[in-house]
Amino acid sequence: MTQLERASFGSKLGVILATAGSAVGLGNVWRFPYMAGEYGGAAFIVIYVGCVLLFGIPCMVSEFIIGRHAASNTARAYRSLAGGTPWAAIGYFGVFTGLLITSYYAVVAGWCLQYIAASLLGQLHGSPEFFAEYFATFEKDPFKPVFWTVAIFLITHYVIIHGVRGGIEKASKLLMPALFVLLLIVVVSACLLPGAFEGVKFLFKPDFSKVGGDVFLGALGQSFYSLSIGMGCLCTYASYFSRQTNLMKSAVQIGVLDTSVAILAGLMIFPAAFSVGINPDSGPSLVFITLPNVFQQAFASLPVVGYVVGFAFYALLALAAITSLISLHEVTTAFIHEEMHTTRKRAAWTVTILCSVIGAVCSLSLGKLDFLKIGDRSLFDFFDFITGQVMLPVGGFFTCLFVGWYLPHKMVRDEFSNWGTLRGKLFHTYLFCIKFVCPICILMIFLHQFGWI
C-alpha cells in the first residue's frame, strides 16, 4: 500500500485534534493532578513542562518520522526501515504494548461511565466513607464493571469501523472541543468556590525547596506517559499524515494542547479540594473516591450546581478516555488489517472482541477472580505495571536509538524538513536530543522505577 493509496487525515485541524486526542486521556485528567499533588504542585509543573519540551516533543517527532516515512502500521513501519535487522522487533513490541494497554485502560474508562450514570441518578451523595465503600463495592461487582468495559469498547469500535476521515478525524473534531468545554465549565465552577485561591496558588506558586530527584523523575515519567510515547499510537497516526504536514510544528501544538489539559485539570481539582480542606496528595483514589465528596461539600448550598459539575466532570473523564482508546484500538486494528490482509471491519471486530475478553478478565481480577495474580499483583495491576513501568520506557528507549543511531541522517532530515520545503534550523538540536538526551532520560526513568537510582 503506497502513501497515495493509504487513508489520510483530511485537514491540518484533523491531524492536530486526532493526535492530541491520542495523547490527552486519563493520564492528564486523572494521573497528572494526583502526581502534582504528591510532588508539591507548581514546582512539579515547571519541571514537567521542561520535560515535555526537551524530552517529549523530540520523541514524538521521531515516531512521526517513522510512521509517515513508512506509511504503514507500526510493525511494518519499523520492519521496512530496519532492513532485516533486529530493530524490526520494536514495531511488534509497540503493537503488543498497545494491545495490553487497550485492554486494561478500557476498564478504568468503564468506571467513568458508571460514575456518569450514578451522577445522573443522584447516587453520589453521602459521607466520605460512603464514597470509599461505593467504589470498592462497584469495583468487585461481577457484572457492572464488565458491562461498562464492553460498552466503552463498542463506542470505540463504532468510531474505528468508519475509517480515518469518517471515523477517527470526525470523532476527534467533535470530542476534543466538547472535552475542552466541559473542562472549562468545571474549572470556572471550582475557581469560584470560597478559599479556592489557595488551590490556585498551590498550582502556580513554585516552592523549589521541595524539589528532589523524585520530583524530577516523576515529572519525566509523567511527560512520557501523558504524550503516549512508545505504544504505537503516534507512529500509526503519523502514517495517515500527508507529506505537507509539518512534523515539528504538529508535535509542539500537540504538546501544548496536552499540557494545557493537564494544567486545566489541576485548576479543576485543587481549588475545589482546598475549598473543602481535602489534602491535595490523595493519590490515585482522588478521582473516584475523594472528588465526589469534594463536589458534594463544595456545592452543599447549591446542590443543583454540584449535580451538574459532578456529571460534567465524569463526562469529561469519559471523553478523555475514549479519545485515547480510539488511538490505542487503531494501532492493533491497522496491524491486523494490513498484515493479515483482511477488511478493516473484520480487523476492528477482532480487536474489540479480543480486548473485551482480556479487559473483562482484568476487571474480574479485582473481584470474583481475585486469585488471578502475578506475584502479589492482580492481573489488572500487573498489566498496569508491566506496560507503564517496563514496556513503554523500553519501547521509547529503543525508538530513540533507532532514529538517532540507525536510520540514515539524510532520511531523518528529509522527513523533518518536508524534503527541504521547511527550514530545518532545529534539526541538529533535535538530533542531539534524540541521540543523547532522550535515551539517557528514559533510561533514568526505567532505573528509577525499580529503585536502582
Mean of pLDDT values over 160-185: 83
- SS3 (DSSP) at 68: helix
Give the number of other Cβ atoms within 10 Å of residue 103's Cβ: 27
Among residues 311, 37, 304, 305, which one has the least CA distance to residue 189? Answer: 305
pLDDT tens per residue across span 7-64? 667 777 777 777 777 777 777 877 788 788 888 888 899 999 998 998 899 999 999 9
Please state which of the ranges 11-20, 361-370, 395-404 shows the lowest mean pLDDT.
11-20
Distance CA 54, CA 43 (A): 17
Distance CA 280, CA 375 (A): 31
Task: Confirm if 321 and 112 have CB atoms less than 8 A apart.
Answer: yes
pLDDT exceeding 90 applies to what percent of the chain? 37
Which cell goes with 251?
508535535
Paired strand residues for 373: 378
Q: Which domains are present in the chain?
A: 12-449 (1.10.4160)
Distance CA 320, CA 119 (A): 18
Paired strand residues for 377: 374
* Band of residue 343 on the pLDDT scale cut at 50, 70, 90: very high
Give the number of other Cβ atoms within 10 Å of residue 257's Cβ: 20
Q: Which residues contact 201 (CB under 8 A, 6 or more apart)?
A: none
Distance CA 404, CA 77 (A): 16
Distance CA 227, CA 394 (A): 15
* Band of residue 1 on the pLDDT scale cut at 50, 70, 90: very low
Q: Which residue has the higher pLDDT, 414 or 175?
A: 414
Burial of 211 (0-12, 13-18, 19+ CB in 10 A): middle
pLDDT tens per residue across span 93-132? 999 999 999 999 899 899 999 999 998 888 888 777 888 8
Highest mean pLDDT among 286-295, 355-364, 372-381: 355-364
Paired strand residues for 378: 373
The two beta strands, 373-374 and 377-378, are antiparallel
Encode burial over 395-434: b for 16+ CB neighbours within 10 A, e otherwise. bbbbbbbbbbeebeeeebbebbbbeeebeeeebeebbebb
Maximum separation of any 2 CA atoms in the chain, in Å: 67
Task: Confirm if 106 and 361 have CB atoms less than 8 A apart.
Answer: no
Q: Which residues contact 101 (CB under 8 A, 6 or more apart)?
A: 231, 328, 383, 387
Q: What angle do CA 321, 375, 442 make, to 5 degrees?
A: 55
Distance CA 289, CA 258 (A): 25
Task: Confirm if 333 and 239 have CB atoms less than 8 A apart.
Answer: no
Structure-derived torsion over alpha carbons of residues 318, 319, 321, 323, reported in degrees to the nearest 10: 160
- Average pLDDT in the chain: 86
Structure-derived torsion over alpha carbons of residues 176, 178, 182, 188, reported in degrees to the nearest 10: 80
Distance CA 451, CA 429 (A): 31
pLDDT tens per residue across span 291-331? 787 777 777 777 888 788 888 888 888 888 888 899 899 99
* Band of residue 428 on the pLDDT scale cut at 50, 70, 90: very high
Q: Which residues contact 133 (CB under 8 A, 6 or more apart)?
A: none
C-alpha dist (Å) from residue 304 to 122, 200, 308, 311, 341: 10, 24, 6, 11, 53
Q: Which residues contact 251 (CB under 8 A, 6 or more apart)?
A: 57, 60, 61, 64
Specify the DSSP class assigned to residue 86: G
Amino acid (one-letter) located at 388? G
Task: Confirm if 180 and 256 have CB atoms less than 8 A apart.
Answer: no
Distance CA 377, CA 370 (A): 10
pLDDT surpasses 90 at 82: yes
Paired strand residues for 374: 377
Unique residue bearing C-alpha cell 490515585: 284
pLDDT tens per residue across span 127-156? 778 888 898 899 889 999 999 999 999 999
Which cell goes with 117?
450514570
